[in-house]
Structure 1
């Protein structure tokens, strides 16, 4: 197979690009670090969107556009799992479907915030509804991407029997721990205050640190794989 060297290198670096574009929207423009309190009433949420209408709309657009930056790294992860499987087997297909759902989730989370910000004169209850939809979708929708870490861990620790594995074993253990530590985030659906809420320690801060760490580390893990196995 003739490999596209540019796209492979882009795949190795695009996790960082995704983090930068997403972070520009989420952190720099929207100041969702921490997010709007889930316990805030409809009037307070609507006022936030009215006061920061333009920046929140720009933030939502950045979050949606970040989906494009995540495409190459997603494709590369699927290729790496296929390499480990020595063909496109069940694990590869499951990885592809899981990452596709993550891309959809990422886009529509931004779309929800854009809906909340679009009409500054909208009824506060409707603004709050769209805001809730965005946060619950991205933070509570973890089943749509949690399996990516589980599948990568399985590929590294179970499927890859090579003496010199495609990915280091520690990558498998790290992904497994990320999945385990992310799982309690599902509790955001049951709490609007405290550590399990979408702005709490378990509902937001721990997953946020893991999310940032994963994408920050991705070029340093993926570039050696691309050099050794795809560009050699």
Structure 2
């Protein structure tokens, strides 16, 4: 087995982080009873306390917490492909990796907070409700890192200098659309009921569907790019030409 083959296999394995996230995280939500909708901002205290106090709910949140870490390998593979696009000055590649690290934290921490909510049966119901509101708003509304990440990828695709168009140009516009579709989530700070509440269709379901589609779409794009690259590695930058004497 050559080193080149090893590099390609690692990249392909990392790309599978996208589908793995969907299977593990959504499976955890299903186990926890969060799908099709989590408890909302107007649910009663007793209902919220009973929901998070359930061992099944907490087990599902533990599974989900694992799933929320799995985008990281895909994000690393995306940055490797962006390095191919940018060449000698890969600032967008570094920015995407940095923003990706932030998004993984924003996905993981709220699920851990929800697990804390049901840990103590004698905790004040108002504190459980506070953790409930905080975690879901923290999970669904910080759209800026996600949107900036999409925009960064789109700009790199449109400015591809590799000569082979690593990702197709349409994927740039798909990333721009994803960034736009994340934006309605910020309205959750102003609505407790209806489609713009944090368990409403334009916040919970729109954000979930767009991010799930993005994970699977980027998996397919990274896989296609790796398989189409005979070297399986970032092409070296051209050597500088010596000045004429």
What TM-score do you get using the length of structure 2 for normalisation? Answer: 0.86
Q: 1:44 — aligned with what?
A: 47
Contact 2:29 2:64 in 1 (8 A): yes
Q: Match for residue 142 of structure 1? A: 143
Q: Which has the larger radius of gyration?
A: 2
Aligned to 2:239: none
Q: 1:88 to 1:118 in 2, by over 3 A?
A: farther
SS of residue in 1 equivalent to 2:36: coil
Matching of residue 6 in structure 1 with residue 9 in structure 2 = yes
Corresponding residue for residue 202 of structure 1:
202
Larger relative helix fraction: 1
SS in 2 for 1:40: coil
The CA distance in 2 between the partners of 1:161 and 1:6, in whole Å, is 24
TM-score w.r.t. length of structure 1: 0.90
- Counterpart for residue 218 of structure 2: 218
Query: How far apart, in 1, do the equivalents of 2:68 and 2:195 lie?
Result: 29
Structure 2: tracts of 5 or more residues without a match: 234-245
Measured in 2, the distance between the counterparts of 1:27 and 1:147 equals: 29
Structure 2 equivalent of residue 186 of structure 1: 186
> What SS does the aligned partner of 1:4 have?
helix
Q: How many residues align?
A: 229
- 1:101-123 deviation line (CA, Å, top 9, x unaligned): 01111120111111112123321
Which ranges of structure 1 fall in alignment gaps of 5 or more residues? Answer: none
Contact kept, 8 Å, 1:12 with 1:223, in 2: the verdict is yes
Deviation (angstroms), 1:88: 5.2
Which residue is equivalent to 1:106? 107
8 Å CA contact retained: 1:38, 1:192: yes
| CA deviations over 1:35-89 (Å, ceiling 9, x no partner) | 2111113232112223xx2111112211221244222101011112221111452
Runs of 4+ in 1 over 4 A off after TM superposition: none
Partner of 2:156: 155
The separation in 2 between residues aligned to 1:88 and 1:59, in whole angstroms, is 43
C-alpha deviation, 1:27, in angstroms: 2.9
1:162, CA displacement in angstroms?
Answer: 5.4
